[in-house]
Amino acid sequence: MRTLLPLLLLPLIAFAQDRRTVTEPVIPAACVTLTANLKAGFDEAMFDKAKTDTARIQKALDGCAPGKAVELKAAGGNDIFLSGPLDLRKGVTLVVDKGVTLYASRNPRDYDREPGVCGTITEKGRGCRALLNGDGVEGAGVMGDGVIDGRGGEKILGQSITWWDLAEQARKGGAQNNPRIAVLNRCDNFTLYRITLKNSPNFHVAYSGGNGFTVWGVKVWSPGKGARNTDGIDPGNSTNVTITHSFIHTGDDEVAIKAGRGAPTTNFTISHNHFYTGHGMSIGSETDGGASAIRVTDLSIDGSDNGIRIKSNSSRGGLVEDVVYDDVCIRDTKNPIYMDTNYSFKGTATDRLPHFRNITIRNTRIEGAGKVTLEGYDAAHRLNMLFDNVVFDNPGQIKVQMKEADLRGFAVKATPESGKKNSCGGKYVPFPQ
């Protein structure tokens, strides 16, 4: 397995579209260390009746000076913290030490934006605060070798169903009001480093409206089945974003770059990552604000529903351009390449028409059966793509669906026209424990 060494910065910079010089983060010194009062192996029924650590963690965050960290540490055999929503502070890092787990409360009342809404299904959803909330907190972060567990697969207190069950029920209509692990708005120069995020009731991380977001050496895990809308990392309406050296296994998009109306979505680097079950390396489905200058390099996608995917529709579409995928290995993936201009469409078409152009896929190897979808919206919004050394190991097992597409170099064949077939050696590694 490749390790997180500074030497790996060289290929990161070579392909980078993030305009910053991104180096491996450093965990800051602690301003205060909090020790755990609970231990693993707890009786769940009693555990959730215990006094939460919310107030003392929040007090520590509020009192910490910028540039320092609040450290959560094991002590005396105790290694568990229990918390409801926390508000991150400018310049302050929350550090979860190795061997420590920060568990999210299962009490929906802790997360209510409006009384009694969290833990229900409503028309629009979004009735819950996140476990970790950042709004305009420049230079903050979440780091450490510990775990933050959203407990999405456990029963909501006062109900007989889990958060993920609620999400499944919402398929019949409406939207589930489930908390996310982290919602970060307008948080310039925010850092996630080495932390493990798991079992979020909804998206694990949503980042928007910021300039400078670094995700380095992070592990995100939720089940591939039965955990609806558990996206890994969703950055949007932001600039100068790097996601690198990370491992993502989810029930939805591993990464989904959002580009709704608002601030530009541009200058992204997605490099040296491993994806497992999930819905792919995605852009969309909101693209009406435009997305550009995105580079994806050194990526493995193993057993996902989708591989390289750009998705939108005529109710929220816009221009996606200048996107390059390089050195990608995809295996056992139902839709290894999926350009979808009619994604999850409902209602009447508007003037927000999707247009994907200047998209490049090079030095990419696809192993196993699957379907390749290459679709532009219409004659005025044709898909424009370049394929350079894209090889299919099993061309006879690949179905192709295309329309309104201008393609250069596309062919379903097992022999590269130029260069070498990507060996994919060392790319497929187990999800780290």
Instruction: Give Cα 351 to chain centroid, integer Å.
Output: 29
pLDDT of residue 345: 72
Q: What is the mean pLDDT of the chain?
A: 94
The whole-number average pLDDT for the span 143-172 is: 97
pLDDT of 30 over the 80 cut: yes
- 383: its two tokens: 């898909």
User: What pLDDT digit, counting tens, does each position of 279-288 carry?
Assistant: 999 999 999 9
In the three-class reduction of DSSP (H, G, I as helix; E, B as strand; rest coil), residue 44 is classed as helix
Nearest one of 286, 279, 237, 238 to 255, comparing CA atoms? 279
Model pLDDT for residues 338-388, shown as the tens digit of each residue: 999 999 876 666 789 999 999 999 999 999 999 999 999 999 999 999 999
Phi, psi of 413 (to 5 degrees): -145, 160
Tracing tokens 């060996």 back to the chain, one arrives at: 423
Report, as residue numbers or ranges, the catalytic residues. Answer: 252, 279
Residue 43 — very low, low, confident or very high, per pLDDT cuts 50/70/90? low
Spatial distance between the Cα atoms of 427 and 211, rounded to a whole number of angstroms: 30
Contacts of 276 (CB under 8 A, 6+ apart): 224, 247, 248, 249, 254, 302, 303, 304, 431
- For the record, the structure tokens of 313 come out as 């529709």
Sequence-ordered list of residues with C-beta below 8 angstroms from that of 222, at least 6 positions apart, any chain: 152, 198, 199, 200, 204, 230, 249, 250, 251
Confidence of residue 46 (pLDDT cuts 50, 70, 90): low
Q: What is the mean pLDDT of residues 105-111?
A: 97
Spatial separation of the C-alpha atoms in residues 367 and 424, rounded to whole Å = 10
The answer to whether 131 touches 180, Cβ cutoff 8 Å, is yes
| 208 pLDDT more than 70 | yes
Percent of the chain residues topping a pLDDT of 90: 89
Compute CA distances 234 → 230, 231, 286, whole Å.
10, 7, 12
11 or 175, higher pLDDT: 175
Cβ(306)–Cβ(312) below 8 Å: no
Q: Above 70 in pLDDT, residue 15? A: no
Domain coordinates in residue numbering, the chain: 295-306+318-426
Residues in a beta bridge with 133: 87, 183
**Where is 364: in which H helix or E strand?**
strand 355-367
Angle 4-308-265 (CA atoms, 0-180°, nearest 5)? 80
CA distances 349 to 165, 310, 313, 398, Å, are: 32, 19, 8, 31
Q: Closest by alpha carbon to 318, among 237, 253, 385, 241?
A: 237
pLDDT-based confidence at 2, cuts 50/70/90? very low
- DSSP run (H or E) holding 13: helix 9-15
Place 4 in a pLDDT band, splitting at 50, 70 and 90.
very low
Question: Per-residue pLDDT tens for 221-272?
Answer: 999 999 999 999 999 999 999 999 999 999 999 999 999 999 999 999 999 9
- Report pLDDT for 47: 75
What is the chain's length?
433
pLDDT at 23 over 60: yes
Radius of gyration of the chain (CA): 21
CA distance 292 to 239: 10
Q: Is the dihedral of CA 168, 174, 180, 185 positive or negative?
A: positive
d(CA 137, CA 6): 27
Average pLDDT score over residue span 401-411: 97
Higher pLDDT, 350 or 81: 81
Q: What is the pLDDT of residue 1?
A: 32
Q: Do strands 175-176 and 121-122 pair parallel, antiparallel, or not at all (unpaired)? A: antiparallel
In a 13 Å sphere around the CA of 143, the CA atoms on its Cβ side amount to 22
